[in-house]
Amino acid sequence: MSIRIIGVTGPTGAGKSFLCKALSERIPMIDADEVYHSLLIPPSECLDALRKTFGNDVFLPNGALDRTVLSEIVFSDKEKLTLLNGTVLHFVLNRIREMIADLEHSGNTCVLVDAPTLIESGFHIECDAVISVLSSPELRLSRIMTRDEISEEKASLRIAAQKDDDFYRAHSDLVLFNDGDTESLIRHATEFLATLDIHL
């Protein structure tokens, strides 16, 4: 039996990472953001590709990526965000596939993949099931401002740069609405996984 891949996605601030961390106590989890950040440690083909695409302005004098500058560029321009995804996602996905293979080789039968661009990257097709976590724009705005310590204006730009809820609904096997009732969120996800014969 091959390892089963459960993709978890959703717009920023909705709560997908909270859900994944809660479930990861019982299921191995791969965080796509962490994978991306690990690929930014020089020397790195991913860094080289970013420099070629966005130029030296998004790099610090020591050669490290200036993530603050890059974020301001891509979250204020949807075309630049698409360009960023097109530049880095294949590096991220290849590393995730390697990690999944390692987990399967170690005898694991299931893995969660926490990925904000799971669907946009096309990786949802490789998943056995896709869970999307959604939330109201007001709650998302508040969470993003608190989490990232940024202004309401910058948080609003991040929300505006992402897909709408219907996009996630159209590509998901389960849609969860996170209004702050975390126990309910985890329970519904657990019940769904049980229908796939994945018992936590």
pLDDT of residue 76: 86
**Whether pLDDT at 71 is above 70:** yes
Nearest to 99 by CA among 10, 41, 36, 47: 36
pLDDT band at 42 (very low <50, low <70, confident <90, very high): confident
pLDDT surpassing 80 at residue 41: yes
pLDDT of 138 over the 70 cut = yes
Answer whether residue 49 shows pLDDT above 70: yes
CA atoms within 13 A on the CB side of 94: 7
Mean of per-residue pLDDT scores for the chain:
94
The residue extents of the domains of the chain are: 4-195
pLDDT in tens, 127-136: 999 999 999 9
Give me 119's structure tokens. Answer: 């669907």
Fold held by 4-195: Rossmann fold (3.40.50)
In whole angstroms, what is the distance from residue 180 CA to residue 89 CA? 30
Q: Is the pTM of this model over 0.85?
A: yes
Distant-in-sequence, close-in-space partners of 159: CB < 8 Å, separation ≥ 6: 11, 12, 13, 137, 140, 141, 144
- Structure confidence at residue 180 as a pLDDT band (50, 70, 90): confident
Q: List, for residues 12-36, the tens digit of each pLDDT value.
A: 999 999 999 999 999 999 999 999 9
